[in-house]
Amino acid sequence: MEPDAILEELGVTAAWELHGDGRWVEAPNLDVRAMARLLRSVEARWVTLTVSPAPGGGFRLLYHWDLAGRLLNIATVVPEARAESIADIWPGADWAEREARDYYALEFAGRDGSPALMLRPEDEPGLFSRTQELGRDADPADAARVDAGGEP
Amino acid sequence: MSPVIPVGPYHPALEEPYKIELVCDGEAVREAHITVGFNFRAIEWLAERKNYTQDLALVERVCGICSNVHTLTFSRALEQLAGVEVPARAQHIRVIVHEAERLHSHLLWAGIAAEVIGFQTLFMTCFALREKVMDLLEAVSGNRVNYAMNKPGGVTRDIVDPAMVSATAQAIRAAMERDIIPVFTTDRTVRARCAGVGVLTRDEALAWGALGPVARASGLPQDIRKAAPYEIYDQLDFEVPVRPEGDVLARIVVRALEIVESCRIIEQAVDGMPSGPIDAGDFIPVPAGEACARIEGPRGEVFYYVASDGSDVPLRVRIRTPTFQNMPTVALMVREQTLADVPLIQASIDPCYSCTDR
């Protein structure tokens, strides 16, 4: 399946922006589970998920896929710290979603029982978000335990 | 009730901490649960608080084995952002050091695999060969671990003795073909210990996003050097070894054959290295925007995402290392295997916990 057909199948009206490093598209109302199922069916390869705070609030989820050597970067935005999980469709996304929760307290639907990945069980999720609130010089080791009442 | 056997996070056989809990039924492993994060250093967080020059030194410390691929991938992301073309000589040097790093990483792993299998003499042979590569890297860069060879726009040092580089690659290729590959591919002890052990099927490898030699040993012919060539790889003649079996033996054979291919690549890069500048000049800070870069590291694809607001400090740096994808597949590989095979199976993915945790 060609990249243009993928956008058409997903109902994304925006076109790919072609850069030297791959194709990029912003898809605000993206059905990420439909995207995951489609890319699974065409034997694309999972690359990773990049989460970052969105400029207007919420979070930007940038999904990276490899389609026969072509890098596809598909971005969407969630207004709250809650997103759909694709780990049941793409098991390879499991750790990336758990890591996103560690860093940004981003909760993925149906994954309430998933353990932390990089943080320890006693650490509160949202390490990067919390240190952002505390200022750029905040120590992540202190911030990891700021809500847990433990020693930094 | 099935006994749960915890291994790690600290263990005499592992240089780096991680934990695997094995749910067993007698000697058979029924399931496994992996815990990582013991080496977590928040490197992505740090990278968003340091300037690009500091970040170059920071990302080189993501990994102690494949340190070079991190500076290369980070530099390529910045070059993509700035639209900078790296001079041809620098591209050749990058490829030579990149492949030398793959050589020493694969030879290190081959030695460890030989030791885990119980083949001490082969361990010594592999490490003696690896020492030649370390000497080469030291001669080229002045360093044995963090080479500091890459910079945005090129490399920091020229190669002043290309003949030595080529001779080393030829010597390693000959030793691999004469001494090591025949053992790994035909020796009955190796075959008995590794064939059919720790299988990861092609479908599992794809679904779990396995990378590098782990994926290629499960029948997936993925290699960024071929699929999306960078630097001068589209000008080079080399093969990507792929095996369909998905077992420990296949992972051993793939890496052993890749050593030969890396030697061939180095020889070609030396032969074709043109004269000229080795960097494109400074272009930091980079323009606002976002970019990705992918490199085929020794353990598989290394991925970087960098977002810039035009200042000298990146807005966001995302680092996805190959072991981050490969490690969860160990839980699949060890199912229904004997407890005694677990160390060999986990070693067969050539894990790097430091990379994984970042």
Interface test with A, best of B76, B296, B320 (most A CBs within 10 A): B320
Q: Cβ of A104 under 8 Å from any chain B Cβ?
A: no
Which chain B residue has its CA at the smallest distance from A21's CA?
B292
Q: Longest C-alpha distance within chain B, in Å?
A: 69
Which chain A residue has its CA at the smallest distance from B356's CA?
A118
Q: Cβ of B42 under 8 Å from any chain A Cβ?
A: yes
Query: Which of A22, A45, A93 is facing B206, going by the closest CB pair?
Result: A45
B323 phi, psi to nearest 5 deg: -65, -25
Cα–Cα distance, B88 to B83 (Å, whole number): 16
Interface test with A, best of B45, B79, B295 (most A CBs within 10 A): B45
The answer to whether residues A85 and A100 touch, using CB atoms and an 8 Å cutoff, is no
Express as a percent the part of chain A with pLDDT over 70.
87
Does this model's pTM top 0.95? My answer is no
Residue A3 in this model has a pLDDT that exceeds 90 = yes
Cα–Cα distance, B323 to A72 (Å, whole number): 21
How is B95-144 classified by DSSP, letter by letter?
HHHHHHHHHHHHHHHHHHHHHHHT-HHHHHHHHHHHHHHHHHHHHHHS-S
Contact residues, B window 80-139, toward A, CB-based 8 Å cutoff: 80, 83
User: In the prediction, which pLDDT does A146 show?
Assistant: 54
Residue A139 in this model has a pLDDT that exceeds 70 = no
Cα–Cα distance, B62 to A21 (Å, whole number): 23
| Contact flag A52-B307 (C-beta cutoff 8 Å) | yes
Interface test with A, best of B36, B325, B355 (most A CBs within 10 A): B325
Q: What is the DSSP letter of B179?
A: I
- pLDDT: is A151 or A84 the higher one? A84
User: In the prediction, which pLDDT does B100 show?
Assistant: 95
Residue A61 in this model has a pLDDT that exceeds 90 = yes
The answer to whether residues A64 and A57 touch, using CB atoms and an 8 Å cutoff, is no
Tens digit of each residue's pLDDT (9 = 90 or more) over B80-123: 999 999 999 999 999 999 999 999 999 998 898 888 888 888 88
HEC assignment per residue over chain A: CCHHHHHHHHCCCCCCEEECCEEEEECCCCCHHHHHHHHHHCCCEEEEEEEEECCCCCEEEEEEEEECCEEEEEEEEECCCEECCCCCCCHHHHHHHHHHHHHHCCEECCCCCCCCCCCCCCCCCCHHHHHHHHCCCCCHHHHHCCCCCCCC
Cα–Cα distance, A118 to B37 (Å, whole number): 4
How is B217-272 classified by DSSP, letter by letter?
TTT----HHHHS--TTGGG--------SS-SHHHHHHHHHHHHHHHHHHHHHHHHT
User: In the prediction, which pLDDT does A152 show?
Assistant: 42
Contact residues, A window 32-71, toward B, CB-based 8 Å cutoff: 40, 43, 45-48, 50, 52, 62, 64, 66, 68-71
User: In the prediction, which pLDDT does B114 show?
Assistant: 85
Query: Which of B40, B292, B318 is facing A22, going by the closest CB pair?
Result: B292
User: In the prediction, which pLDDT does B116 show?
Assistant: 82
| Contact flag A45-B325 (C-beta cutoff 8 Å) | no
Per-residue pLDDT of chain B (358 residues; tens, 9 = 90+): 778 999 888 876 667 888 999 999 989 999 999 999 999 999 999 999 889 999 999 999 998 888 999 999 999 999 999 999 999 999 999 999 999 999 999 999 889 888 888 888 888 999 999 999 999 999 999 998 899 999 999 999 999 999 999 999 999 999 988 988 888 888 888 888 899 999 999 999 999 999 999 999 999 999 999 999 999 999 999 999 999 999 999 999 999 999 999 999 999 999 999 999 999 988 878 899 999 999 999 999 999 999 999 999 999 999 999 999 999 999 999 999 999 899 889 889 988 888 899 9
| Contact flag B357-A118 (C-beta cutoff 8 Å) | yes
The answer to whether residues A99 and B320 touch, using CB atoms and an 8 Å cutoff, is no
Taking one residue from A and the other from B, the number of pairs with CB-CB distance under 8 angstroms is 89
Label the pairing between strands B154-155 and B4-7. Answer: unpaired
User: In the prediction, which pLDDT does B343 show?
Assistant: 86
Cα–Cα distance, A60 to A50 (Å, whole number): 8
Residue with tokens 């750790």: A95
Strand partners, A24: A17, A73
Q: What is the DSSP letter of B15?
A: S
How many Cβ atoms are within 10 Å of B166's Cβ, its own excluded? 19
CA angle in degrees (0–180, nearest 5) for B149-B152-B155: 30
Interface test with B, best of A23, A51, A104, A118 (most B CBs within 10 A): A118
| Contact flag B305-A43 (C-beta cutoff 8 Å) | no
